[in-house]
Amino acid sequence: MSTYTPPQWNNKYVSWFDKRLPAITLMHKHLIVYPTPRNINYWWCFGVASAMALVIMLLTGIFLAMYYVADTRLAFDSVERIMRDVNYGWLLRYLHMNGASLFFILVYIHMFRGLYFGSFKAPREVLWWIGVTILFLMIMTAFMGYVLPWGNMSFWGATVITSLATAIPGIGQPLVEWIWGAHSVDQPTLNRFFAWHYLFPIIIAALAFVHMWALHEVKSGNPLGIDIKGPRDTIPFHPYHTVKDLYFLTIVLIFFSYFVFFSPNFFAEADNYVPANPLLTPPHIVPEWYFLPFYAILRAVDSKLGGVLLMLASILVLYIMPYLDRSPVRSGSFRPLFRWAFWIFVADCLFLGWLGAQLAEEPYITLIRIATVIYFAYFFVVLPLLNKYEKPDPLPDSISEPVTSRA
């Protein structure tokens, strides 16, 4: 807000430094006095929790990379050596392995929050687009990371997914071989996946800062979905949100620790503890759970190219959300019909996830088709129709009105 007046720093070193690089003022503005709607609830804590997950992934990943060997003959053993011989190597590895699942759980909830409360609507479109881009990069990073331990699921997963590019007419085959750096998934593939797997999270981290930049320009939305009208509607970030976020992060860490320490292979596939073997196809090739809905959509049509395009569309459609849901009311809490549509959509996504883990046979194929139709209908039919015909409930005048009148 333009009303921000930087403080006078009394400490002479702080003041000296801040005159040359106003980092301290910047932090004061964005972490201390930054105004946040007084009514935001715990769904707004999933952003900061995602950031924590990103930090966990970066830190554990950097240390794992100090011991990991990207050689097809040694990769599997090097991971096993980390687990057995490196001091607390098992902890690093299990944190990183389960951290990926944690990251996706948090980011998916963060996104559903956005879809329910209309966080993608003006003026937050750019913020949302950066988010969708982050999701794309996360998917690629997680996919390449899963290849690194060079287990049998790593190898076959990599083969199946990269081969999807052969569906592109004409250039498909040469393109795949260019990505592989060989005639199949092999040493050059592993080597470059390691390089990319190190690179992408750094880009994600950079985008997360841009995400914050956009956020602080337009400010957080809130469960009522109405604009901040004045200082009565806001509270400063510190101490209110610092303490709330710390509390929430602790709860997330408790949830996470349960898996890391007591069920570290809960999300893992037994076949990935078998070394990669190009001659031994696992009976049932499945991706990690967080890819399952997309994997189901991939198999919704008979054509390979069609499946790939549908799968891409299922993510790309998020970019045009601001133009699909044009209802001027942001928050789902004031849209009685939308609410039903939204929860059916959530259930449909979960159902697609379950279907993604089933074999490609009947009745699953038919169910996948139905669920895929529902998925796209939500975006292209239901939302536009709702905007036209739904009568939203009356909105309160300001954020502070309902809270103060309740008291």
Partner 1 sequence: MKRIITHALTVAAITVAIGSTQVHAAGIDTTPSLKRLTWTWDGLFGRYDQKQLQRGWTVYSEVCAACHAVKYLRYRDLEGIGLTKAQTEELAAAAEEIQDGFDDAGEPFFRTRIPSDPIQQPYANEEQAKAANGGVAPPDLSMITKARKRGPDYVFGIQTGYPSDFQGEPPEWWIKQFADPKTGEYDFPADKYFNNFFAGHAISMPPQYVDGVVYEDGSSPTQEQGLIDVITFLNWASDPNLEARKTMGLWVLVYLGVLAGFLYALKTYIWRDVEH
Q: Catalytic one among 18, 125, 245, 325?
A: 245
Residue 379's identity, in one-letter code, is F
Q: Dihedrals φ, ψ of 280, to 5°? A: -125, 95
Q: What x-and-dash track marks residues 39-68 binding partner 1 by CB under 8 A?
A: x-x---------------------------
H helix runs in 258-318, sequence order: 292-298, 304-316
Is 299 one of the binding residues for ligand HEM (CB under 6 A)?
no
Cα Rg, the chain, nearest whole Å: 24
User: Token match 């992060």: residue?
Assistant: 249
Residue 341's identity, in one-letter code, is A
Q: Which does 235 bind (CB under 5 to 8 A by kind): ligand HEM, partner 1, none?
A: partner 1
Residue 156's identity, in one-letter code, is W
Check: CB of residue 108 under 8 Å from CB of residue 59: no
Is 47 one of the binding residues for ligand HEM (CB under 6 A)?
yes
Q: Dihedrals φ, ψ of 149, to 5°? A: -65, -10
Q: Is 227 a catalytic residue?
A: no
Which one of residues 48, 105, 144, 286 is an interface residue with ligand HEM (CB under 6 A)? 48
Distance of CA 294 to the CA centre of its chain: 14
Q: Dihedrals φ, ψ of 33, to 5°? A: -95, -10
Q: Which does 300 bind (CB under 5 to 8 A by kind): ligand HEM, partner 1, none?
A: none
- What 3-state class would DSSP assign to 195? helix
* Segment interacting with ligand HEM, rule: CB under 6 A, options 126-134, 139-147, 232-240, 335-343: 126-134
Q: Which does 155 bind (CB under 5 to 8 A by kind): ligand HEM, partner 1, none?
A: none
Which one of residues 80, 177, 186, 227 is an interface residue with partner 1 (CB under 8 A)? 80
What tokens were used for 232? Answer: 């009565």
Contacts with partner 1, residue ranges (CB under 8 A): 38-39, 41, 80, 83-84, 90-91, 94, 235, 239-240, 243-244, 246-247, 250-251, 253-254, 257-258, 260-262, 264-265, 270-271, 273-274, 283, 333, 339-340, 343-344, 346-347, 350-351, 354, 363-364, 367, 400, 403-404, 406-407
